[in-house]
């Protein structure tokens, strides 16, 4: 009992130590909910409500002299969110890709929860132990209650999004065409490294083609064992090539993607790809667009990320093609001279 009394007295006289305890409580709550809601992670209940609860708990259980400060209510939930996500990574519950995807939501909504706790704390200067227990119980229950409600209201959550990219290439059409129907192995010095590559998305390696024309099969290979089978559905020589896309999910190592962002998985897939060549003077405008399928309860937010990722991948591939075409065209001009 003396030890408990000393701990309580220490926390009472050292508010920042008590604050760290509250931050740890918020982070622990997030980890426990991550485990408890394993089957319902891609829902509004987990992605959007749990972060509010993390922020609320962090501020609600902080010392009164700190939780009444607006800046504290706004910023301290970020620390709890950070600890929660780092803990999820260290325990292999999440990978870096998912952490990057969820952190903006956890940070912003954590602040919302913290501000709500600050407002309630201001209305009622000190909450009793019974009131605090009621708050804690409510926060635990709400995400589980919201999931069946949102599933019933949203129904079919499948949506298809088109991502378009283009690049200007100073090379003859036939040179550009030759470089898109087949893509020989891309050398490391040809690659560009973006934010999405740094957090775990693989870079393209090559694309082969069984035969030209409709029915031909391309195999687009990426780093770490990612391969897409692309069947030609439309072929207009030196004008357009379109293909359906199927991710060879059974061959992708489980360490390549987080479970929730696996291409060809339950929540995300790439369905179709198209290249179109547009002649403009001595240049060719090369258009590339793809169709992707999203199946989450928050497709609007998820689409921002998947769209940015696809835009990044497509821009990278187009830049490789541009450099190759223009280098090849320049060499031809030198030989002709």
Q: Residue-wise over 197-228: b if at least 16 C-beta within 10 A, else e?
A: beebbbbbbebebeeeeeebebebbbeeebeb
| pLDDT tens-digit map of 58-95 | 998 888 788 788 899 999 999 999 999 999 989 888 88
Cα 149 to its chain centre, rounded Å, is 25
Instruction: Give the tens place of pLDDT for each residue, 155-214.
Output: 667 889 999 999 999 999 999 999 999 999 998 888 887 787 787 788 889 999 999 999
Q: For domain 159-336, which architecture applies?
A: 2-Layer Sandwich (3.30)
Q: Where are the domains of the chain?
A: 2-154, 159-336
* pLDDT tens, residue by residue, 228-261: 999 999 999 999 999 999 987 666 665 556 666 6
**Angle at alpha carbon of residue 211, lines to 205 and 217, rounded to 5°:** 55
CB-side exposure of 4: number of CA atoms within 13 Å? 1
DSSP, residue by residue, 267-307: SEEEEEEEEEEEEETTEEEEEEEEEEEEESTTHHHHHHHHH
For residue 282, pLDDT over 70 is answered with yes
């Amino acid at each position: 009992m003396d030890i408990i009394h000393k701990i309580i007295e220490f926390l009472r006289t050292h508010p920042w130590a008590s604050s760290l305890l509250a931050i740890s409580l918020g982070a622990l709550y997030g980890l426990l909910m991550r485990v408890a809601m394993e089957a319902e992670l891609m829902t509004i209940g987990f992605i959007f409500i749990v972060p509010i609860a993390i922020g609320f708990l962090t501020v609600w259980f902080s010392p009164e002299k700190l939780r009444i400060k607006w800046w504290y209510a706004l910023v301290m939930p970020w620390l709890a969110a950070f600890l929660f996500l780092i803990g999820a990574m260290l325990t292999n519950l999440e990978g870096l890709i998912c952490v990057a995807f969820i952190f903006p939501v956890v940070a912003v909504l954590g602040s919302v929860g913290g501000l709500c706790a600050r407002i309630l704390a201001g209305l009622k200067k000190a909450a009793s132990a019974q009131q605090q227990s009621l708050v804690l119980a409510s926060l635990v229950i709400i995400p589980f209650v919201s999931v069946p409600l949102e599933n019933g209201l949203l129904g079919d959550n499948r949506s298809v999004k088109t991502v378009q990219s283009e690049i200007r290439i100073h090379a003859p059409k036939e040179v550009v065409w030759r470089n898109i129907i087949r893509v020989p192995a891309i050398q490391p010095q040809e690659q560009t490294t973006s934010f999405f590559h740094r957090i775990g998305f693989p870079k393209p390696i090559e694309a082969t083609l069984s035969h030209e024309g409709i029915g031909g099969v391309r195999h687009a290979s990426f780093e770490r064992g990612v391969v897409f089978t692309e069947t030609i559905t439309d072929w207009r020589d030196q004008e357009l090539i379109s293909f359906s896309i199927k991710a060879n999910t059974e061959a992708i190592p489980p360490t390549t993607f987080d479970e929730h962002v696996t291409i060809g998985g339950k929540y995300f897939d790439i369905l179709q790809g198209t290249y179109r060549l547009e002649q403009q003077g001595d240049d060719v405008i090369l258009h590339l667009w793809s169709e992707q399928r999203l199946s989450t309860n928050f497709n609007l937010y998820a689409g921002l990320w998947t769209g940015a990722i696809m835009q990044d991948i497509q821009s990278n591939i187009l830049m490789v093609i541009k450099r190759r075409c223009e280098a090849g065209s320049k060499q031809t001009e030198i030989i002709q001279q």
